[in-house]
Amino acid sequence: MSLRRLAIIAMALGLAAAPAAAQQSGQARTILVDEGGSYEVLVHPDFVTILYLPDKVDKAIASDVTSYEVKAIGATSLAIRPLKAGAKPASLAVATASIKVSVVLRLVTNRDEAMTQVTFKRADVEAELERRITEQVKERTAALEARIAVMQQQMDAELPKLAEGLIAARMLKRREVRKLDAIERNDDNVVVETKDVLYLGDDAFVTFEIENRDKAPYRLAAVALRDGKLDHATAVRFASDAAETAGAGVIGVVRPGGRGQGVVVVRRAADVIGRKLTLEVSQPGGRGKVAVDRIVLR
């Protein structure tokens, strides 16, 4: 293809379609090309703009060589520099083995708008690359998921054994149940009573019961076992015969006229032995709070 034909092609491309602005913001842009196209590149006399092509540049023809200097940098790059401050827009036709593009060079006065690096990539190659990456990610993800599933199965099998072993070890250290008799109610006729404490190893499990004598369900949202302001409850479990399932932020529900049982776990119970603790239970937003005080673990 002669230089003249390239120039004609470039001009035709420039006329046929409005030049597409290069993608991305900032001074570096990447342009995906489907074999050919016209693209606007904003240049400034203070900067040299580098065009990166996907393969070796066969031809590069500028329509106005007096206003723009175009030089090859290596086999796949072109450097463009405006020579005049008031240069008019010009076109640069570039042909490589895989793409043919018309670059419309437009001078801008604002330095921030000028592009210093423009990378042309073949859209189909990029798409293929992305497809391969996606495929590989899928493969890797599937493999990882399979491994995780195997690990999960192993954990499901091992965790009960681990828990049983821990419980057995703790039972050998200490296992003792002691009665608790703290009880209190709120103004809504919800009564909370501590029943007993199970010492298992270093930990203590305080059991309590909520008797809801109100006409509305009691939705348990928070349980704390406080020594002053410090909450020693590390885990809480609660069960009742309520048909209503616990929603978000709710530990359990006690139906009107019903009862529910709970357990508060206290790690390192030795830290609170002999202290006067307060069991606090409440509904969402702190409503219906019941504070059972003077609970002493011995």
Partner 1 sequence: MRAPLALAAAVVVAPATAAADRREASLHAHAIGGLVTLGGPATDDTSSALALGVAARASYATSNRFQYDAQLAVLAGSADWDRGTFDTRGGTVTGPFSRGVQAARLDAGVTLRFGVALIPTVRVALGVQGVRYGAAEVDNGASTVTATGSDALGLHLIGSASAGLDYRVNRRLIVGAAAGASLAVPGVGEAWRSFDVTLHAAYYYYPRW
For binding to partner 1 (CB under 8 A), which residues are involved? 181-187, 189, 191, 193, 213-214, 294
Looking at residue 243, the DSSP 8-state letter turns out to be: S
For partner 1, the closer CB: 121 or 213: 213
Nearer to partner 1, 82 or 260 (CB): 260
CB of 243 to partner 1, least distance (A): 21
Nearer Cβ to partner 1 (14/288): 288
Q: Are 60 and 97 in contact (CB under 8 A)?
A: no
Q: CA 73 → CA 52, 67, 186, 239, 295, distances in Å?
A: 9, 19, 83, 75, 83
Yes or no: say if 218 and 288 are a contact pair by the CB < 8 Å rule: yes
Comparing C-alpha atoms, which of 230, 182, 189, 188 is closest to residue 207? 182
Strand, coil or helix: 168: helix
> Would you state the structure tokens that stand for residue 20, as one six-digit string?
């597409």
Of 28 and 191, CB closest to partner 1: 191
Min dist. Cβ of residue 275 to partner 1 (A) = 16
Amino acid at 251: I
Tell the smallest beta-carbon distance from residue 215 to partner 1 (Å).
8
> Can you read off the two tokens belonging to residue 276?
């006067």
Q: What is the DSSP letter of 286?
A: G
User: Which CB sits closer to partner 1, 215 or 229?
Assistant: 215
